[in-house]
Structure 1
C-alpha cells in the first residue's frame, strides 16, 4: 500500500491505496473503502473522453492512465471554478465553443453523399484528435491573465478553416478571439495527452489569417524590417557581423563550430556575441562566423508570415549546409528552435549543449543567481538540465532554481500585444526577484525581463566572467 493525498476545497486528505492502480481506480477504491464520497468525473476509462483530467503532482494528467505514486497529490484541474471536490465547471468552455459557431456553416447543403479527397481530410487529422480534456487551458499563461480563449479553441477554429465544406470566415473569428495573443510557449503541447502540436496549429491559423488581411500592424513592421535588412529589428549602429572576424582559431582545437548569431545579437546585444567567441575559444572550440547569414525567420513563422520565412530559410540552409564545421551553435532559443524544428537541420546545438559537454574549470564567483528557461529552449528543444549544471560548476556561486514559466516575450506578443507582454513579464519578474542576477539563453527574454527591472545576462556572459 502507498499513501496519496487529495485536495478537497481548502484541506488535503491522505489515503492509503494499493500500488500499481490508476488514479481513477484509486479514487473509486477510496470512496468504496473509506466511504469518502469524493466527487470526480470519469466516463470512458480509455483516454478517449478527457473528462477525468486532474492536476496530478502539479501537472494536468488523465486519471484513467496515470498510475499512483507514493505521496502523490491530486487536485482539481487548475484554471477553472471548482464545483465540488475534484469536479470543475466546464460550462464556460462549452459556451465559448458555441460562440465561435462550432459547426459547419453552409449556405446550401448537398442533397446526396458528398465525397472529400483523403488529402483534404489528412490536413486536419491531428487537430481533430482532441478529446476535450482541457489540460491545455489549465496551463495557458495567457488565458490565465488575459482575454484569450486558449489553444484548443484556436485548434477548433482551424479545424473548420481547413474543412472545404465550411463557408464561414473562420480567420476573422480567430482574429477577434485574440489569435495573436498566444506566446507559442508550448505549455499546452507539453501536457496534451494526444500529442497535438497546438502551437503549430495556431501558427497555421495565423498564416491563413495573414493571407486574408487579419494581422497586427506591429507584425507588419517587423516584416518590413526583414525585407529591408534581413533583420527583424532596425539597425542602430555598427553590427556584430560588421565588427567580428570570419574565423577564430582555438589554440588546441577540439571542435569547430559555426556561430549563428540571430538578429538581436547582431544588432543589439553585440557584447554577447563577442562573449560567445571568447567562451568558445576558452573551451578549445574554433569559431566560424558566416557573414552572409540572415534572420532565421522565427518572427515570421510565429506570426503567420510564412512567405518571408521560407525565403530566409532557403538562403540560410544554403549557407549553413555549405560550412565545414562540426556543429552550428546558437545562443538564442528562438533561433535554435527554428533551425532544429523548422529547418530540420541535424547539426544544430544550443551553446549550453556545447559547454555542458566540454567541461573546464571556472574561477569562483560569490553571487546568487537563478535561471529563466526560455520557452523555445525548455519546450522547443527539450533543454533543461544543461544550463543548470553549467551554472553549478562555478565555484562559490549560489544557485536558486525556478520553475519554467513564460515571460511573455515570444510568439510576436512583445511586439504586437505589449499590454499582455508586460503583464506576463511583470508576473515572471516577481517570481525571479531576490537574486543578484537572472541567467537565460534568449536575447528576447533577456531584453524583456530587463524591462521589468531585473539584472539579466546571457549564460555566455556569465561564463565569460569566470574563464
Structure 2
C-alpha cells in the first residue's frame, strides 16, 4: 500500500470495521446504482451512466457517494477487503510499475534545472505549486508527504518540459499522472467527488458522450449569446456569469459533427496508398470541423481509401489527466474496437493531445506486471496504438508526400526539403509586420509547437517541412516555439488566471514575429492562444497547418497558384 500504517492495531481495526458497517448500511442503495456487476466482482467497474446531481464534497452515505465509489479502481477480493477496512487510514495499493516509478524518482539530483523550464514556476507568484523538483525530492511512501504532493499535482500543465531538461531522466510527468490517479481513487473510495466542477463537466461531457447533443443545440442558439470576432472565433455579446471565463474567446460550434459529414467509405486518389481511418477528436469533431474537412481532403490525395468511423468516442484525455483511469480504459477499449472494425492500415489524427493519448498512453493503461494476466482488451489496444500517427508525421514518413505547386518551390525563410527544420529569421520586433524580410505578397506565419506533439510524440521538423512546402508562405520562427502556452486542456479552465499569465509570454513571442497567421497542431492550444491574442488586442487567425495545405491543393486543382485565403 502507498503509505505506512498510521495508528492501528487490532482495536483500531475493529473500530474501523464498525465504521465500515455503518457506511454500508447508510449507503447501500447508492453503491449499487449504476455500478454494474464489476463493483462486487473484482473486475474493472464501468463508470456510472446515471447523471445524478452534484452534492458538494459528498461523503459516506450521501446521495453521490455510491456513484463515486463505483468509479474507483478495482483490485483482488482480498485487497479490496483490506482497503475497505483501512479506508479511514487512506491506504492505497502500489502496483509494481508504481514502485518502479517511485525508485526512478530517487534519481533526482536536486539541481533545479526543471524549475528553469517549468511554465508554472515561470509565471511567477500567486499559486502554491513549488515546481516539478518537489515531485522528485518530496514524494515518498509516507502518507502525509504523498497526499501533500498529490494535492498540488493539479497545478502541473503536463507539458513535459521538466523531463526533457532533466539531466537524470527523472520521470516527473509520469509521477504526476500516478499521483492524480491515486488522488482520484482515494476520493472515490471515500465517496467524495474527486474532480473539480470544471473537470467533472469535461469528463462527463467529453468522456460521457453528452457533447454531441449539447453541440447541436449550442450551434443553433450560439448566435444569440455570442458574436464572431475578426479572427473567426466567438465572444459573448455581454459578460456571462461564469467568473474569470466571462470574456473568453471560444470556437463556434458546428451544426453537424465531422463524423456525421462523410459516407462510410471515401475513395482516395492513390491506388497504391494505404487505407486510413481518421480520429477526429472532440474539438475537431464539434467545433473546428473546417480543420477536419481539410484533413480528410489531404489524406484523400495520399491514400487509396479514407474512413471516418461514426462510432468513435473521446480519446479520454480529460479523464486520464484527471486521474480517472477506469473511464480512460473504457474509452480506450471502445475506440480500439471501433477502429479495428474499420480495417485501416493507419489511424491518423490532427489533434496533438489525442495522438499522444492514443499512441503513447493507451498501452500504459493496460500494462500488466510480469506474471499477471493482462486485461482481455490489451492486445487490441496495443494493435490500435501502434497504427496511430499524427498527420504531419504520416504525410512525411508513411507516404510519398505530394508537394503542392507546379515546381514545388519554397519561399525564403522556409525549409527546403526534408533536411533539418525551418529556420526563419526573427525580423523586426514590432507586431505590425514590419521587417518581415520577404515580399509583402507572401503570407507570414509562425508555428507554436504543442507540448504533446513536440515532446510527447517527437514531431517538430515534420511540421516545418510541411509548412515549407506551401507556395506563398514564409515561416518566421518565434524565439520559444515549444514553450507551453498554458492551455493544457482543463488546466486553463481550472486555473485561468495562471494559464493566462503563462500565455502572455507566448502572445508576446508571437507578436514579435509580425506573423499574419499562427499555426499549431493542437485545437486546445489554438483556442487558448486565440483567446490571448484577442484579449491583447493583437487578434489574427490561428489555424492548423493542414488547412493551408488543403487550400494549396485546391489551388493546384483549379489551375491557380496565386495567394488564396489564409485567414
Deviation at 1:121, TM superposition (A): 4.7
Gaps (5+ residues) in structure 1?
Answer: 1-102, 110-115
Are positions 1:201 and 2:182 aligned together? no
Q: d(CA) in 1 for partners of 2:467 and 2:207?
A: 38
3-state SS, counterpart of residue 370 of structure 1 = strand
CA distance in 1, matches of 2:313, 2:214: 14
Q: Is the 8 A contact 2:135 2:149 kept in 1?
A: no
Distance 2:137 2:6 in 1: 17
2: CA distance, partners of 1:137 / 1:233: 43
2:493 is the counterpart of 1:415: yes
Moved more, 422-431 or 228-237: 228-237
Contact preservation (8 Å) 2:204, 2:210: no
CA gap 1:127/1:248 in 2 versus in 1, 3 angstroms: same
3-state SS of 1:130 partner: coil
Within 5 A, what are the aligned runs for 1:179-258? 179-213=153-187, 215-229=195-209, 231=211, 234-235=214-215, 236=218, 237-253=255-271, 254-258=273-277
Q: How many residues align?
A: 352
The residue correspondences of 1:145-160 to structure 2 (distance < 5 A) are 145-146=123-124, 147=127, 148-157=129-138, 159-160=139-140
Aligned pairs for 1:125-164 within 5 A: 125-146=103-124, 147=127, 148-157=129-138, 159-160=139-140, 163=141
**Separation in structure 2 between the aligned mates of residue 417 and residue 154 of structure 1, nearest angstrom:** 20
Aligned counterpart for 2:524 among listed residues 444, 455, 463? 444
TM-score by length of 1: 0.70
Q: Structure 1 residues 122 and 426, CA, compared in 2 at 3 Å: closer, same or farther?
A: closer
> Quick check: 1:143–1:150 contact (8 Å CA) kept in 2?
yes
Distance 1:282 1:123 in 2: 44
Q: Are 1:223 and 1:232, in contact at CA under 8 Å, matched by a contact in 2?
A: no
Over residues 133-172 of structure 1, what are the superposed CA-to-partner deviations in whole Å (9 max), with x where a residue is unaligned? 2211121011111432111213445x32xx2xx3427325
Q: In structure 2, how many angstroms separate the alpha carbons of the residues matched to 1:117 and 1:210?
A: 14
Cα offset, 1:421, TM superposition? 1.5
Q: Distance in 2 between matches of 1:234 and 1:202?
A: 32
* Partners of 1:312 and 1:421 in 2: CA distance: 28
CA shift digits 1:167-186 (9 cap, x unpaired): 427325542xx421211000
TM-score by length of 2: 0.58
- SS state of the match for residue 405, structure 1? coil
- Check conservation: 1:368, 1:399, Cα contact below 8 A: yes
Distance in 1 between the 2:167 and 2:460 partners? 21
Aligned partners of 1:187, 1:438: CA distance in 2, in Å? 22
CA distance, structure 2, for counterparts of residue 121 and residue 273 of structure 1: 41
Q: Hey, what's the Cα distance between the residues in 1 that align with 2:332 and 2:388?
A: 14
> How far is the alpha carbon of 1:231 from its aligned partner?
4.9
Cα deviation 1:269-307 (Å, max 9, x = unaligned): 111111111111233453111111110111211121222
